[in-house]
């Protein structure tokens, strides 16, 4: 199948992708849409014109994806099939084309009303690298290979791609100072992550078995969990991250559904010999065989002096020690009620090689080995005017390449 939208082929958003998001129309309305090439199909307008039918019509008239998320993957799959027909049938072109708008002409909004946000720590490479920086003799704590570690983030400070991020203030303690001081962070970092939105969710007190976990995952997006490392190192003991991470989290505007990602699934991370097997509630044959996602993830950096951004790392989502299903199941294992539109994130995605490290803390060895940029600049951590751009895409022979678009944020000092 090929779309009659000329810009679709070769873009991040071919017919095989059709991610969902929310944009603001020229009349001010926030509307659900799907990306196709460099265009957006306005699903509210399509529903009003009776181009869409079935139970999803009401969800397409909403100002967020929450209702569609609550309806489960079958409803989203039915919408996807209907959209594929509309956007590939040349006979439907005259009826559908009036409801296409240029992505460049609209403002993208957060795709869902996010009431809760949890960030995990699922990359063993990242956890080990960071552990070596702070605990050289004991880099990986003993619970790591048994428990998908996470912390409760701040949902109200999640912003959509393109939003400027102000340098936060906080308490820090210089190594040679007897007391902490309060002021702007001087060790601001990005974190390359992937987030996933909860679909139907679960009732309070009712766990989600791992075999059913993916029926509660609506789709994936890119996440930059900005981090003030100097604040973090002073405050994170004994209770973990707090002000170092809750000032801003940037997400990409498009949610790529699990149906679109089906061709790019594979086995979960192969645990090294000698590692403990997951406990029974975190182990299922389907998750072992299909729990991995082959998503290439890139970090690009543009400084105030640069004309074009430069790529500083490239990793892959399949390097996560814990699968998305295991994270979701563990989160709900105590009866915690996940709700439609909740956001869960992977934590920094890093690989085994130097060029696959997902944050400056790792790349620069906590600032000891500055990153060399092509124009002669160096970076230990981010400076005012720096723009971080995350990109993600999937490629496999015999299948169309699909992408996630971009997750951008520029640091402004304040």
Contacts of 223 (CB under 8 A, 6+ apart): 191, 193, 194, 195, 249, 250, 251, 252, 343, 345, 346, 390, 407
pLDDT band with cut points at 50, 70 and 90 for residue 374? very high
Note the pLDDT tens digit of each residue in 322-344: 999 999 999 999 999 999 999 99
Assess contact for 115 and 155: CB atoms under 8 A: yes
Cα separation of 54 and 76, whole Å?
Answer: 11
Q: Look up tokens 């092509």; give the residue.
A: 374
Assess contact for 116 and 345: CB atoms under 8 A: no
pLDDT at 237: 86
Q: Where are the alpha helices (DSSP H) in 301-353?
A: 324-332
Least confident segment among 213-227, 233-247, 360-374 = 233-247
pLDDT band with cut points at 50, 70 and 90 for residue 1? confident
User: Cα 117 from chain centroid?
Assistant: 12
Q: Is the pLDDT of residue 391 over 80?
A: yes
| Residue 11: DSSP 8-state | S
pLDDT band with cut points at 50, 70 and 90 for residue 2? very high
Handedness of CA 255, 259, 263, 269 (dihedral sign): positive
Could you list the active site residues?
A: 126
Note the pLDDT tens digit of each residue in 102-112: 999 999 999 99
| Residue 27: DSSP 8-state | T
pLDDT at 272: 94
Q: Is the pLDDT of residue 239 over 90?
A: no
| Residue 155: DSSP 8-state | G
Q: Is the pLDDT of residue 227 over 90?
A: yes
- Percent of the chain having pLDDT more than 70? 100
Note the pLDDT tens digit of each residue in 173-216: 988 899 999 999 999 999 999 999 999 999 999 999 999 999 99
Pick from 229, 59, 27: nearest CA to 134: 229
- Percent of the chain having pLDDT more than 90? 95
CA within 13 Å, CB half, 131 = 14
Cα separation of 69 and 407, whole Å?
Answer: 21
pLDDT at 414: 58
pTM of the predicted structure, to 2 decimals: 0.97
Cα separation of 131 and 144, whole Å?
Answer: 11
| Mean pLDDT of the region 220-242 | 94
Note the pLDDT tens digit of each residue in 133-174: 988 888 899 999 999 999 999 999 999 999 999 999 999 998
Note the pLDDT tens digit of each residue in 34-93: 999 999 999 999 999 999 988 999 999 999 999 999 999 999 999 999 999 999 999 999
pLDDT at 136: 87
Bridge-based pairing of strands 165-166 and 402-412 is: parallel
What does pLDDT average to over the chain? 96
Note the pLDDT tens digit of each residue in 304-319: 999 999 999 999 999 9
């Amino acid at each position: 199948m090929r779309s009659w939208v000329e810009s679709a082929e070769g873009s991040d958003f071919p017919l095989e992708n059709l991610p969902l998001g929310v944009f603001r129309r020229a009349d001010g309305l926030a509307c659900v849409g799907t990306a196709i090439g460099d265009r957006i199909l306005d699903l509210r307008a399509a529903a009003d014109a009776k181009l869409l039918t079935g139970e999803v019509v009401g969800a397409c008239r909403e100002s967020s994806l929450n209702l569609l998320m609550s309806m489960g993957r079958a409803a989203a799959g039915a919408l996807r099939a209907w959209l594929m027909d509309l956007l590939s049938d040349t006979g439907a072109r005259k009826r559908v084309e009036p409801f296409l708008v240029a992505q460049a002409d609209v403002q993208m909004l957060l795709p869902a009303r996010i009431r809760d946000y949890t960030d995990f720590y699922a990359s063993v490479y990242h956890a080990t690298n960071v552990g070596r920086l702070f605990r050289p003799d004991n880099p990986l704590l003993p619970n790591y290979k048994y428990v998908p570690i996470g912390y409760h983030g701040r949902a109200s400070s999640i912003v959509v791609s393109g939003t400027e991020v102000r340098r936060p203030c906080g308490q820090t303690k210089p190594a040679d100072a007897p007391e902490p001081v309060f002021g702007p962070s001087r060790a601001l970092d990005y974190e390359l992550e992937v987030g996933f939105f909860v679909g139907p969710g679960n009732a309070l007190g009712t766990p989600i078995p791992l075999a059913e976990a993916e029926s509660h995952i609506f789709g994936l997006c890119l996440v930059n969990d900005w981090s003030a490392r100097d604040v973090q190192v002073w405050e994170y003991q004994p209770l973990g991250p707090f002000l170092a991470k809750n000032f801003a989290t940037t997400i990409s505007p498009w949610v790529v559904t699990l149906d679109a990602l089906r061709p790019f699934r594979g086995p979960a991370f192969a645990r090294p010999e000698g590692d403990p097997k997951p406990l029974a509630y975190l182990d299922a044959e389907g998750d072992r065989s299909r729990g991995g996602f082959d998503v290439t993830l890139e970090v690009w950096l543009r400084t105030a002096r640069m004309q074009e951004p430069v790529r500083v790392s490239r990793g892959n989502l399949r390097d996560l020690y814990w699968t998305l299903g295991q994270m979701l199941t563990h989160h709900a294992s105590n009866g915690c009620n996940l709700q439609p539109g909740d956001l869960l994130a992977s934590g920094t995605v890093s690989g085994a090689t130097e060029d696959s490290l997902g944050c400056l803390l790792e790349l620069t060895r906590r600032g000891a080995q500055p990153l060399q940029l092509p124009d002669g600049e160096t970076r230990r951590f981010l400076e005012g005017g720096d723009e971080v751009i995350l990109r993600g895409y999937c490629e496999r022979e015999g299948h169309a390449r699909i992408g996630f678009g971009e997750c951008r944020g520029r640091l402004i000092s304040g």
